[in-house]
Amino acid sequence: MSSLNIQNHSLNLAAGLSRLQAPADAVTVRISSGQRLDRPSRDVAGSGLAAKLDSQQARLEAVEVNLQNGVSRMQVTSNHLDTFARVVTRLGEISTLGRNAVQSEIEHSLYAEETTQLLGQLRQTIGGTSAQIGGKTDVTNPLGEFEGTALFGSDPADTLAIGLQTDEQLTLPVLDFRSGPLAALFRQDATGAFTFNTDAADATMSLDAALEQISDAQARVGSVQSRLEFASGVATTARTNQEAALSVIRDADIAAETTLQARLQILSESHTAMLAQARDTTAKLLPLLSRN
């Protein structure tokens, strides 16, 4: 083999070794970062799809926050409704106990005081203006609120986005307890006294009507809670699928990348060894040529 051929062979080996360096560096980056898309040019379509899935993932996370808020609101509402039912039930007991000929005046006054306290609890929880619920003052900050929104007023219905599409919305029920049978129980006259009397002849009828209104509200809240639970399950499944799809596109296959790294390392080492041998041969051949 001539000196010129050995030199050309050495140049080819050096060029090959240089070409191996770029993929070896890329493999190292992918293994260390765990990302398959080390650069957009590696998978143009995949990069675009990953960006789209990232956007959808963020929106799904926002949907889950909406659903969690909706579930919390319905739970708070349901707890208040249970309290209303217990209050009305107790008022029915007091009404029955009041129809007792042997009851003492002291007992009667104690029941009357309890009635006032129970009606005050209803009024303070539901709230409203004096025009709505009577009395001398408004109840502007009722106990029945969620994030500053009154739960039992007549305000327009609130909506929740429960999916990625604009039409995937859930309308929360409007539970107006500032009117109807329940409001009639805690309504006050102009002096601030409650107009409902447990000793009245129609007291039981009024209490039954109030319980009917509460039961209807509980059924409506229960149906919304069921819808929220199903929507939450759908959103969680969708987000899990999105994460899996993103993982396939974006995450590196460590096993495959490690195998490729080992292959490139073997090729690089063999090129380096052959290049060293070629240079050694050239170094030995030149003195012989100079003698000739």
Indicate the class that CATH gives domain 56-249.
mainly alpha
Report which DSSP code applies to 154: -
For every residue of 59-91, DSSP letters joined together read HHHHHHHHHHHHHHHHHHHHHHHHHHHHHHHHH
Q: Supply the pLDDT for residue 244.
A: 78
Looking at residue 48, its amino acid is G
List Cβ neighbours of 263 (8 Å cut-off, separation of 6 or more).
Answer: none
- Tell me the per-residue pLDDT of 179-190, one tens digit each, with 9 for 90 and over: 999 999 999 999
Q: Supply the mean pLDDT for the chain.
A: 81
- Give me the residue spans of the domains in the chain: 56-249
- 65 or 25, which is more confident: 65
Query: For residue 210, which of 44, 90, 120, 292 has the smallest C-alpha distance?
Result: 90
- 243-256: average pLDDT: 68
- 257-272: average pLDDT: 69
- 94-115: average pLDDT: 86
At 176, is the secondary structure helix, strand, or coil? coil
Looking at residue 25, its amino acid is D
Looking at residue 226, its amino acid is S
pLDDT-derived band of residue 213, with 50, 70 and 90 as boundaries? very high
- For the chain, the maximum distance between any two Cα atoms, rounded to a whole number of angstroms, is 143
- Tell me the per-residue pLDDT of 32-87, one tens digit each, with 9 for 90 and over: 655 666 666 566 666 677 778 778 888 888 889 999 999 999 999 999 999 999 99
- 80-97: average pLDDT: 95
Q: Which long-range contacts (CB under 8 A, 24 or more apart) does 50-57 make?
A: 50/246, 50/249, 50/250, 53/242, 53/245, 53/246, 53/249, 54/246, 56/164, 56/242, 57/239, 57/242, 57/243, 57/246
